[in-house]
Amino acid sequence: MSTENFTDENDIEKNKGGETEGLTTFALDDDDECEIEDVGDDSDDDSVEHRQTIQKMFLNAEKGDDNYNIHDQLPSVEEVKASNAYLPTARLLAKGHRRKMLLTVLGAAFAAIVLSVTISVGVFHSENKNKNNHKKQNRNPQATPVVDSNTYVKDRFEKITTFIFDHHVSTLPNLRNSHTPEFRAAQFLAGGDAYNATIGEYFSDEARQLVERYVLALFYYQTSGVNWDDDFKFLHPIDHCNWHSKYTTPQGTFIKGVVCDENGFVTSLDLSNNNVKAEFVPYEVNSLKGLTSLHLFGNPISGVFPDLYDLKQLKSLGLMNTDIAGTLPHSIGDMTQLTTLALGRTKMSSTIPRSITQLKNLRILGLDGLGLTGPIDPVLGLENLEALYLEDNLLSGDLAASNWKAMKELDLSNNNIAGTIPNQIIQNTNLKVLDLHSNDFFGSFPREIFANDAMEYFAIQNNRFMGTITDRIGYLKNLKHFDVSSNLLTGTFPDTMSLLTNLVSLHTSGNTFSRQPMRNFFAALSNLKEMSMKGNSFTGTIPDYIMNMHNLELLDLDGNELKGTISTFIGIMKNLHHLMLNRNMLSGTIPSEIAKLPKLTTVLLDGNNLSGKTTEICNSQHNLQHFITDCFPSSNMETGPEVDCRCCTMCCNDEALSCNDKDWTSSYDPSYTYGYIRPAYDFSLDQAQPEWQKKAQQESYALPPGA
């Protein structure tokens, strides 16, 4: 028996090297040969001549006699009938041979059909596979087609783990331990990543990109990426340079997630405010050699300050508002390339390390809210600083040796810093924000003020400044926030304050100013939203121009010597949230027009000589949180209450001096609502669009106080 094998060429190509298991083969067996039977001479019906004629006919058919009509099969019945040899014996012979020959022909035809179908299927399968491979190659020209084989995945996993270990990215035990994020990241690259990144030669671009993809996948698994607020397309079968999302803010459009340079290498990783949970920042981040920006702030990340000293190109590090604890390491001074270091509102503590003096390139430094003790001296010589946030610490010392020529935003509030404000600070024409409140500064109010178009925020409240407010204050024509409350200032307000037409917040409460009327120059401050002039010894009546300050949200004239009535025009102050006219000498009735102020939440009118009913106010739809009047009867009950108020939250009378004896001072720090670098340093200065600060300010002005 002879056998012919037919094999798909693609299967042969796949199984080079001796792998033949699973090949499909087809066989055609040729064991039915046609033989002519010999008939004995004793047949009565046959003659020798007739037998010879029949034999000659078949022999000629087999040999292909030129005089015979050549066939590709046995002679037909009609041909046999037409011959002179058609005798009964010849007929029997012809029938027997014909039956055998017919079976043989049918078998051959069937085998041919099977063979044809097999070849067609093989060709179709091969072409279809080639098309699929071609599509994969077009989708990712550098990818190796993935073979759905456990052997292939195991082999690739072995290669990847060896590769990662040899490149000093992760340790081999961690790569081999199936419970580690290192193992899961390697497993993802080996069999779960349809992108199928190339394992390149050592020190090649492909090798570096594979390391970066591994580190990013590891970070995803390390921080429970499935619970992130935005997955930034992490682990998607696309180039990891596209693992990011775009966000539009008042400052412009920014990319968060992964950003690469033109060569396809990671330069920025921003996962801020994204519910990224981790017990520590993985050391493998150091293998992102081209990383210039790492922003992980606003996430529940714990551990200690991460070891990132191999990131020689890192310029911006944002870890504020995380749970990172421990101390500020001395080795932080080795990160000399840093331009932004934001570690505020973490659980770190101790002192400012002396080594921070080595960070000569720093432009933004945020160490706020850490409870730091010790001197402020280490940062005084960082001359390239543009923004310094050290508020809410316990730092001491003075600013005499400061050398901040480029400073734009300086917030040292809530510390123990003493001394006077040096001229080099107050005369810095780049300075936009000066917040020194709640310290131990003393001396006269700064007098060496020169024209400064940049200054917008000036806050020195809760210190021990003395003297008068200089008339040179008018030089700060772009000032928006001016707070000098709770000092020891005297004298009267200079009329040059009328030049501060951009002023939004004016706070002068808690000083010892001389008795004075509310002069008309305040009418020029039409952009005011907050006027807090509590206890400023104002006399006379409430001027009518106050009612025309339609932007006012806070009007606080508590504790002065104001007389007269409350104008009914108060009803046109539609933006008013807080009205505090208590502890004056006002008389008359409480105007019902107060009921027309839809945003009102606080009304303090006690400690005056007001009378009447508040029925319309109580019947209005106000959500008054605080409504206090003299609605309590006298102690001997001989006289009734001065004011009839059924909806007041507290009732006082003239005899109860301790009633409502609170200061009612705003407890929020408005610097956070002004759109300066601090609330925007979730994006670096380098990314900020032109006019970004103005846009942020406009947005912040739309927010109510304390929002």
DSSP per residue over 82-119, as a string?
A: HSTT--HHHHHHHHHHHHHHHHHHHHHHHHHHHHHHHH
Instruction: Please report the pLDDT score of residue 434 as a whole number.
Output: 95
Least-confidence region, from 12-21, 379-388, 528-537, 664-673: 12-21
Interval 511-535 mean pLDDT: 95
The per-residue pLDDT for 93 is 33
Whole-number pLDDT of residue 107: 57
Q: Is the model's pLDDT at 561 over the cut of 70?
A: yes
Distance CA 364, CA 357 (A): 14
More confidently predicted of 85 and 484 = 484
CB atoms inside a 10 Å sphere around CB 550? 11
Does the predicted model carry a pTM greater than 0.95?
no
CA angle (275 as vertex; 264, 677 as ends), nearest 5? 75
CA atoms within 13 A on the CB side of 676: 26
Q: Bigger pLDDT: 159 or 137?
A: 159
Instruction: State the pLDDT at residue 483.
Output: 94
pLDDT at site 254: 86
The per-residue pLDDT for 422 is 95
Q: Number of helices (H) and strands (E) in the chain: give both, helices first.
A: 12, 30
Is the dihedral angle over the CA atoms 437, 440, 441, 444 positive or is it negative?
positive
Going by pLDDT thresholds of 50, 70 and 90, the confidence category of residue 86 is very low
Beta-bridge partner residues of 581: none
Identify the pLDDT of residue 60: 41
In the predicted structure, residue 591 carries a pLDDT above the cut 80: yes
Helix spans in 302-395 (H): none
- Structure confidence at residue 644 as a pLDDT band (50, 70, 90): very high
Q: Is the pLDDT of residue 252 over 50?
A: yes
Between the CA of residue 260 and those of 233, 264, 266, 288, what are the distances in Å? 15, 5, 4, 11
pLDDT of residue 56: 41
Angle at which helix 205-222 crosses helix 150-166, to 10 degrees, equals: 100
| Helical residues (DSSP H) of 502-595, grouped into ranges | none
Output the six-digit token pair for 461: 């409240």
Mean pLDDT of the chain: 79
